[in-house]
Structure 1
Amino acid sequence: MEPVVTHWADNRAIKGNGTSEAVWQNSGLLSSLPEVDPAILVPPGARAVIVAPHPDDEILGTGGLLAQLSDLGRKVLIIAVTDGTASHPDSAEWPAARLAATRPQETRDALQRLHMKHVAMVRLHLPDGGGETFESQLTEALKAHLEPGDIVFGTWRFDGHPDHESVGRAVTTVAGALDLPCVEVPVWTWHWATPEDSRVPWSRARRIVLDTATLARKIHAIQAFRSQIEADRSTGRTPILPDHVLERLTRPYEVVLI
């Protein structure tokens, strides 16, 4: 989930601290969204396919859902698009080679902390930050890995990060062509959007409620991503995932667009 400063015609910019969690909670919007049951979202016999732009997006966006699907005995495939090697530019502590080795291991540790069963992983090793450059390659890879009966999850097509948006476009395109259900996951949306933002398709938004134990598993899993939650001593940069970002992604529910 590398943050990048982007400027769009409609001002979906990822910069500063973004919209605070207090603003989101005080609005009452999210708590009023309809709930969706994971057992219905991914019915018996179906496989959940989570397409993650960077190592950690699968946990940040759907970690609670993954834990619930594991408890239900559902099969899960995680498709890791990149290895997240661009998260620390010009860092002596976290050069690209170290990130390439570390970040996938962080994902494995996180999945163990979620107590995941019946989970498989495919790594595509596409260029982090590649955005539209890797979109056609990702599209072809998805065609090779998706199967009848899959429920496909990808980051939202308008999430604000180029990699997230390319993943969203590829996922929706291929799922549509194969007539597979597609679920979009907002991740950076909570940073640039506001509760009154008409650009977000709120009519499609649903809450996946996490009980206390499931939320605790998700938070424990996020803590596996040390490269992202600790400051970079070599550059003096703050964590990639500071507290104000994690606060928006560790609610007692996850929001998806269906």
Structure 2
Amino acid sequence: MSYNNIITALSNNITTITINRPSKLNALNKETIEELHHAFKTAETDKNTKVIIVTGSGEKAFVAGADISEFADFDTNEGEKLAAKGQDILFNFVENLSTPVIAAINGFALGGGLELAMACHFRVASDNAKMGLPEVSLGVIPGYGGTQRLPQLVGKGRAMELIMTAGMIDATTALSYGLVNHVEKQEDLLALCQKIAAKILRNSPVAIGAAIKAINANYKDGVNGFEIEIKQFGNSFATKDFKEGTTAFLQKRKADFPGE
């Protein structure tokens, strides 16, 4: 499939998805969200893709928010549908992928942009990155999971302050808050993400997918994360990756995981 607003590339088992609307600072409109859904779904089902990196084009923005012009005249019902569909096809979808997703935050990550980064499994930021959820300055609140994921990552008090003030934080502050895992010079950002991805590639993709499911379970209402962990742990014993991993360990050699 050809895309109008994103670019995808596969190299060394890593699919890189680049949001490419530089004139709009890579803002998320309806078409871009749908294209991202398709790209993530395609990467998830591609056996050659073991890690996904998502970033923005240019040097200014990862994603500078949602395209406000698309919903400025929406009513209550339309607003609810907008948030529900977006969460379903992109933000929750990304969070629950079994393929690890790294957000390479290369500039402004505001509103829906930060919400997309937070839906990824972890985040790496360039040293010029700025992050925030400014929705209340527009008379609305974050609608793509921001009020839920930000407190999980930085704590309730910091999330309350960031959302209420509609302020931005820099990469160093985001690192100290635990919002991002690493900060790197912009020119070296993708290289660092690829280096981390290379470490992930050494391990069992089946086990990684199970670990993602177990970790996410801790943050779902009505779900006992310990029970999910026990179930996923047990399921691991029936996989070819477990057989290969344990055999390689006992034979003192590097494992060659089949991904099954």
- Give the TM-score range, shorter chain: under 0.3
Q: Which has the larger radius of gyration?
A: 2
More helix by share: 2
Asked which structure has the greater RCO (Cα within 8 Å, sep 6+), the reply is 1
TM-score, normalised to structure 2, is 0.27
TM-score, normalised to structure 1, is 0.27
